[in-house]
Each structure stands twice: as structure tokens, then as C-alpha cells.
Amino acid sequence: MTTETILDAVAAVEDRVVELRHTLHRHPEPAFQETRTAALVAEVLSELPLSVRTGVNRTGVSALLTGDTSRKDSHRERTILLRADMDALPVQEETGLPFSSEVPGVMHACGHDGHTAILLGTAMVLCGLKEDLPGNVRFVFQPAEETTGGAEGMIREGVLENPRVEAALGLHLWGSAPRGIVEYKPGPFMAAPDSFTIRILGRGGHAARPHECVDPVPIAATVIQQFQNLVGRRVNPVLPAVISVCRVSAGNTHNVIPGEAELEGTVRTLDPALREEIPAMMEAVVRQVTAIHGADYRFDYDFRYPPLINDSKITALLRDAAQTVLGRERVREAEYPTMGGEDFAYFAGAVPSTFFFLGIAPEGETIQHHHPAFRVDDTVLKDGIAVFCRAVFDFLERDAVLEQRL
């Protein structure tokens, strides 16, 4: 498939994709409530030669494009998966855009409306070129990326099977990268965003008689400090780790020692082994610090999404595809991984995959995700579609050539 043909087909759907993005933006829905979004996605997909499944992991939608697998003398079909997330956030929009959210307190403040529109556009383009597509494409529109991870449930409900998916691609519109720039990275790319809640159980009483109490407040302060020593002194410095205590709560007035303090926060790691070790290190700190002061504790640790680790071969394929459609100067390796989490990690953990960023920031600026003023640059939507389509053809065609030789 020539790049020229792909780019012409992308140009033909661009206006509709931008319009769809604006419609999605007007009607944001939070995690697992993406019913209107899913209905719109299913409606657009139903116009195309696809087999569509709705209600996958509650509000998810999946669709299969069956290409012309007879084009190669192969005993085996190949299938690649493309994924978008559909959920919005509990943020009150303050962009002043004409297509601003019409739902009070809910906003597409992470760009998932753009991801959904890009994937719909990709489905339109690939369906238009299906006679020349030597394999299958599975489109996945998942719920709840921002909360509990809609990806895992969709995998459980079979989106990687029938036919068996052999590779997966996903993208995120990215406020830290300049408009229209693709950033890729093989290996660890995004962190495991695990979380914890710790209760320090002391004994409350009169603020003037601390010796008759077990004050949980200074104990909590010591625990917080020791967590930072843990990152600084116990964790191998070449392995990134973040422990952020984000909520500290205790007491309700100035002259009563509270009976209890509660800490809540997040732990970010890229290394799967370190990820497993950190909770025990943290609990040891809590156990020993509370023991010194005669307090008790409860320690709850929640393993959320795994770290997102990009496959090196699929990442190289994506890089080459992006360079072909955008030019070398618009494609670069990300300097660092990010410690943000992303539930595409479940796909990447199951099949060789790559997740990449598509920049949306104006020259010299950074766009904050999850912020009331977050905005997407519509001119990059076509770039996302073109990169996806080129990568799909490269994956299926390259493989067809390889298999013919065997």
C-alpha cells in the first residue's frame, strides 16, 4: 500500500473526524458510564464493513475488520489490534471553546475524545482500503482508563482472541510534546501507578497531656520522611521509583490529640521486580516506626496497572511507519519514560505492543492534562490516523512477504 494512497484516504475523512471529536468533547462521560460515547462509536462503526461487538466489559466496543487473507499463500491469518480509550474526567471545563463540555463537572481533559476520533478515522480509512489489506485489524474502544482499567476486562472478555491478536498499538495525545511530533520508546515507557492507604492507630486525648496519649501525628510525619529515605537509600538508584503521600488526615481541632492518622498516596515504578519489593519495604517502615511509639497500624496496598513495557520490534515498526508518513524530523525517541500510568500496559503485557505519544503543544508551551484548560490541537488527528494506518499495513504486509519466503 502506498503512503500516498493512505494520506489521500486520511485527508478524505479528516473533517468528519474533527467533527466527531467535537461531538465527543461536548458529551464527556466518566469511567464505565460511556454509554452515549459507545453508542456513537458503534453507530459510526456500523456504517463500515466490520463485525461490531458492544457491551464488552460493560461499555466497551470492539470491531473486527477482516482483510483479504487470501492475498498471501498463508496457512495462517494475522491480526493487529488498535486501541482507544473513551472515558472523561471529573473536571469542570474552562477552555471557553465553542464545543465545550455540556456536562457540568465532567470534561475530556486527557484527550481520550481525540483518541476515540482518531481510531474511528483509522477504521474508516482501513475499511476503504480493505481489498488491499493482507490481514485483520481489531479495533478496541475501551472504558475506564482513568480509574480501574477497562483494558483488563476487555482482554478477559476476549478481544485478543478469535482471531488471535499478534500485536497491539496505542497512542496518547501528549501535552509535553510539540504539536504533530511522535515520541516513541522501546522498553519501559510508563509506570505502574500503585496506591496505598495507611492508618496509624494511636490513642487520643488532651493536647496538653501527650504523655498520656499515643499521638499518631508525629508518627505519621516520621513515616512520611522515612518513605523518602527508602526511595533515596534503599532503592537501586538506576531504577526509578516515586513514593508520594498525597493525603494526610488527622484530627479536627487545635487542642485534641487525635486517635488516628491516615495517609494515602501512590507508588510509581518501571521495574516489575522493584514493584513487587516496595510494599514490604514500606510496611517495614510503618511497623517499626509505630512499634517505637506504641501505636498500631493498618497497611493496605493496591497493585493497579502494571508498568507499560514497549516491545522493541513493534516500536521500531511504529517508528519507521511514523517517519514514512510524517518525515524523520517529526519523529523522535522520548528522552525518558514517564512515571504516569496507562492501562494499555495490559495489552503490552499480553502481546508485543507499542504505545506512543502524539504531541499537541503549541511552540514553547506545555499543555497540562487533567486541567480545566486542557485542549487538543485538531490538526494532529489526521497524523494519528496516518501513523496507525501505515503501521498496520507495514505489519501485515511485511509479515506477508516474510511468510511467502518461508
Give the residue closest to Zn ion by C-beta: 110
Report, in Å, the least distance between residue 146 CB and Zn ion: 5
Report, in Å, the least distance between residue 115 CB and Zn ion: 8
Identify which of 296, 350, 378, 16 has the alpha carbon closest to the alpha carbon of residue 151.
Answer: 350
Catalytic residue among 87, 113, 183, 194: 87
Please, which residue, 61 or 110, has the CB nearer to Zn ion? Answer: 110
Report, in Å, the least distance between residue 145 CB and Zn ion: 6
Backbone angles phi, psi at 128, to 5 degrees: -65, -25
User: Mind spelling out the 3-state secondary structure of the chain?
Assistant: CCHHHHHHHHHHHHHHHHHHHHHHHHCCCECCCCHHHHHHHHHHHHCCCCEEEEEECCCEEEEEEECCHHHCCCCCCCEEEEEEECCEECCCCCCCCCCCCCCCCCECCCCHHHHHHHHHHHHHHHHHCHHHCCCEEEEEEECCCCCCCHHHHHHHCCCCCCCCCCEEEEEEEEEEEECCCEEECCEEEECEEEEEEEEEECECEECCCHHHCECHHHHHHHHHHHHHHHHHHHCCCCCCEEEEEEEEEECCCCCEECCEEEEEEEEEECCHHHHHHHHHHHHHHHHHHHHHCCCEEEEEEECCCCCEEECHHHHHHHHHHHHHHHCHHHEEECCCCECCCCCCHHHHHHCCEEEEEEEEECCCCCCCCCCCCCCCCHHHHHHHHHHHHHHHHHHHHHHHHHHHHC
Please, which residue, 50 or 110, has the CB nearer to Zn ion? Answer: 110
Report, in Å, the least distance between residue 113 CB and Zn ion: 11
Please, which residue, 86 or 220, has the CB nearer to Zn ion? Answer: 86
Please, which residue, 90 or 294, has the CB nearer to Zn ion? Answer: 90
Report, in Å, the least distance between residue 319 CB and Zn ion: 22
Report, in Å, the least distance between residue 109 CB and Zn ion: 7
Report, in Å, the least distance between residue 10 CB and Zn ion: 23
CA pseudo-torsion sign 9, 396, 172, 48:
positive
Please, which residue, 24 or 110, has the CB nearer to Zn ion? Answer: 110
Please, which residue, 31 or 110, has the CB nearer to Zn ion? Answer: 110
Q: Where along the sequence are the contacts to Zn ion (CB under 5 A)?
A: 110
| Residue 308 CB coordination number (10 Å) | 28
Active site residue 276: no
Please, which residue, 84 or 286, has the CB nearer to Zn ion? Answer: 84
Identify which of 89, 79, 80 has the alpha carbon closest to the alpha carbon of residue 113.
Answer: 89
Q: Determine contact, residues 239/274, Cβ cutoff 8 Å.
A: yes
**Cα–Cα dist 25/22, whole Å:** 5
Catalytic residue among 34, 85, 113, 145: 145
Please, which residue, 83 or 390, has the CB nearer to Zn ion? Answer: 83
Distances from the Cα of 322 to the Cαs of 3, 169, 172, 181, 326, in angstroms?
Answer: 11, 13, 14, 9, 6
Active site residue 145: yes
Report, in Å, the least distance between residue 153 CB and Zn ion: 17
Residues marked as catalytic: 87, 145
